[in-house]
Structure 1
Amino acid sequence: MLEKLMENLSFHDVKELKGKVTQVREPFEKQYKVGQLLGSGGFGSVYAAQRLSDGLQVAVKKISLERIHQWARTPNEPGPVPMEIALLQRLWGGGTLAPKGIIRMLDWFEMPGDGYLIVFERPQVCQDLFDFVTERGPLEESLARRFLQQITRALQYCHSSGVVHRDIKDENILVDMRTGEVKIIDFGSGALLKDAPYSEFEGTRVYSPPEWIIRHQYRAEPLTVWSLGVLLFDMVCGDVPFERDEEIIQGKLRFTKRISAECQSLIRRCLAFQPEERPTLDQILSHSWMTASAEDDDCMQESCDYAPSKASL
């Protein structure tokens, strides 16, 4: 039933249904004060903002209509909404119990004829993982392990909720600098989880698997696992393993830093050429490197105590 309600809609379907539905919302301008630009890209633009009712610091993502390629209908809304909003509603379920490791959508607003604004929680001292690694260089394996455990568990929750992110990368992982907790952000390339292969991809090329490069098809979990392999390599070596399509297809790994054999083993398994040879998310969490004793993981707190160069979402 829910799957039927969240079916993809064409642009003409959206226009027709929008004409039949009138949404009553308190204007965004009366609820939030917008501050500095935090970042921009293919996903849209993100601004720092403050909720006027209680002073809560939030982030506001602005998405133009021309950048919205997927629409969906949900049980919670009278009209069609961008797929990103539908996926976040599905993950959070309208409840107060927070799924760990996933950014929380607090509100959203339609700007008729222009696009949408999505309001997110914003940790007061945060930095995306790209900047985190860029500033510090390759991470200690104990810290990379802690991050990967959190990310993998969050992705398990996504998949169990019927959502696939499809753009896991360092720029889409937010690090809370006070707690060392990480959150997955930007579901703009996401989709409903399905067993059948996908034939469209809006994620990041250097994180895409060889089956997409060669056949323009992929399945959800093998895609996710490949991205995690690239992400782990990036964390412990300081950069992604492949830059060009030919390198992705060849799959030759050159470890530029001294990495433990167990860590290399997990990376190689995640980056197996054949999708069926990659581990599942469950198997990643049970891998010997992931379950290793981490008595010296206090270094994570030391790493996270440094002030970031910028707060980002």
Structure 2
Amino acid sequence: MLDKRIVDLRLDHLEDVKAKNVKEPFEKQYKYGALLGSGGFGSVFGGHRISDGQQVAIKQISRDRVQQWARLSGEANMVPMEIALLLSLGGGSGSVPGHQGIIRMLDWFEVQGQGYLIVFEKPQHCQDLFDFITERGALEEPIAQRFLKQVIKALQFCHSRGIVHRDIKDENILVDTRTGDIKIIDFGSGALLKDSIYTDFEGTRVYSPPEWILNQRYNAHPLTVWSLGVLLFDMVCGDIPFERDEDIIQATPGFTKRISKECQSLIRWCLAYRPEDRPTIEQILLHTWMMENSEDIGDLQGESNIKPSL
């Protein structure tokens, strides 16, 4: 049975954010396109905005699949936590500023008796990092470094807004194949950031840390750092380090590619068995490997050179 928790959202920067009373129904504003993907959360379709033809992605969420609800300040109706988190990250038409490394929600709708539709920007020339690695193979270290820096800076923004993503993985990162810029997507497993222990987890098991596998308990920051270690390994080796619970508990990645000692050092630090032995995300940015210069990292798909790391 689903644990359908209700959270009163009381973030300072959301004081002026209210549920949007849409004057025109979804059908008057947007048109569906092809199915892009589906899963336990629902389905995602392409589409476009009728007024200007802007390409969008439309996520359908069934009401009975929503596991966390939020009550926005000043509003009686509850909304899925994902919508509330996206609003706090600059989604919708509010005045909250967003971040270039996080996908932007353009609009959302409640479909009476069914569920919710979330409309996102749909960046052009993008593919998710899973497909990017599948097509290209293990990434050169400077490219992996650039991607990881951007992911961390986007996560720092999330944390500054009181939000933890909880499902950082290659499938939830979009890569612009022209510029090398990334965007984090899918906040369906996200939650409000807190210092205390979490006892629920809706992310991806093979990216989860030993403390969750063993005790179903974790803290937000060590969980995030562990997933970044899995992600970095995935990028430079071409696949994730652990497939089974037993492997996660061992916390000993076996490097399948020839990568630098500095990169191995950072991965092992992030994948430390004990949460208290892992770095903070700020310490990751200061690691020797992350400080290496990567001004020219070539092109991604033969289209153009991607910009120097910021």
TM-score scaled by length of structure 1 = 0.88
Of 60, 63, 71 in structure 2, the residue corresponding to residue 62 of structure 1 is 60
The CA deviation at 1:74 is: 1.6
1:2-51 per-position Cα deviation (integer Å, ceiling 9, x unaligned): x98417xxxxxxxxxxxxx9955411001001100111112321111100
SS in 2 for 1:279: coil
Q: Does residue 37 in structure 1 map to residue 35 in structure 2?
A: yes
SS at match of 1:199: coil
Measure how far apart 1:239 and its partner are: 0.4
Matching residue's letter, 1:51: R
After superposition, the Cα gap between the structure-2 partners of 1:266 and 1:76, relative to the gap in structure 1 and judged at 3 Å, is farther
Amino acid of the structure 1 residue aligned with 2:79: V
Shift in alpha-carbon separation, 1:248–1:102, aligned structure 2, 3 A: same
Secondary structure, in 3 states, of the residue corresponding to 2:222? Answer: helix
The alpha-carbon deviation at position 176 of structure 1 amounts to 1.4
Gaps of 5+ in 2: 1-5, 11-18, 305-310
Larger RCO, structures 1/2 (Cα 8 Å, 6+ apart): 1
Contact 2:30–2:49 (8 Å) recurs in 1: yes
Contact 2:178-2:300 at 8 Å conserved across structures: no
Shift of 1:98: 3.0
Contact 1:63 1:115 survives alignment (8 Å): yes
Please name the residue that 1:147 is paired with. 147
Q: Which of 293, 300, 304 is residue 303 of structure 1 equivalent to?
A: 300
Contact 1:43–1:186 (Cα < 8 Å) also in 2: no
Q: Which amino acid aligns with 2:202?
A: E
1:6 aligns with 2:9: yes
How far apart are residue 208 of structure 1 and its match? Answer: 0.4
Q: How does 1:145-294 map to 2 (within 5 A)?
A: 145-294=145-294
- The structure 1 residue matched to 2:72, chosen from 74, 91, 102, is 74
1:119 Cα shift?
0.3
How many residues in Structure 1 have an aligned counterpart in Structure 2?
289
Q: Distance in 1 between matches of 2:235 and 2:169?
A: 10
- The answer to whether the 8 Å contact 1:206/1:242 transfers is yes
SS of the residue corresponding to residue 156 of structure 1 reads helix
The CA deviation at 1:294 is 1.1
SS of the residue corresponding to residue 117 of structure 1 reads: strand
Give the Å deviation of 1:180: 1.1
Shift of the 258–96 alpha-carbon distance from structure 1 to 2, 3 Å rule, reads: same
Contact 1:180-1:304 within 8 A present in 2 as well:
no
Find the counterpart in structure 2 of residue 106 from structure 1: 106
Deviation of the 1:272 alpha carbon: 0.3
Deviation at 1:158, TM superposition (A): 0.5
Residue 290 of structure 1 aligns to a residue in which SS?
A: helix
Aligned alpha-carbon RMSD (Å): 1.9
Q: Distance in 2 between matches of 1:306 and 1:61?
A: 29
Give yes or no for contact 1:71–1:81 (8 Å, CA) kept in 2. yes
Alpha-carbon distance in structure 2 between the residues aligned to 1:209 and 1:130: 20
Offset of 1:77 from its aligned partner?
4.5
Distance 1:266 1:40, change over 3 A: same
Report the identity percentage.
Answer: 67
The residue number in structure 1 matching 2:16 is none
Give, in whole Å, the separation in 2 of the partners of 1:201 and 1:288: 32
Query: Do 1:37 and 1:48's aligned partners in 2 also have CA atoms closer than 8 Å?
Result: yes
Secondary structure of the structure 1 residue equivalent to 2:300? helix
Supply the distance in 2 between the matched residues of 1:262 and 1:70 (Cα, whole angstroms): 40
- Alignment-mate amino acid for residue 151 of structure 1: V
Quick check: which one's helix share is greater?
1
Deviations 1:197-241 (CA, angstroms, capped at 9, x unpaired): 100000001000000001100000000000000000000000000
Question: Alignment partner for residue 90 of structure 1, among 88, 91, 101?
Answer: 88
Structure 1 unaligned segments of length 5 or more: list them.
Answer: 8-20, 308-313
> By how many angstroms is 1:177 displaced?
1.7
Instruction: Give, in angstroms, the shift of residue 104 of structure 1.
Output: 0.2
> Structure 1 stretch 171-180 or stretch 47-56: which is displaced more?
171-180
- The verdict on how the C-alpha distance between 1:151 and 1:22 changes in structure 2, with shifts beyond 3 A counting, is closer
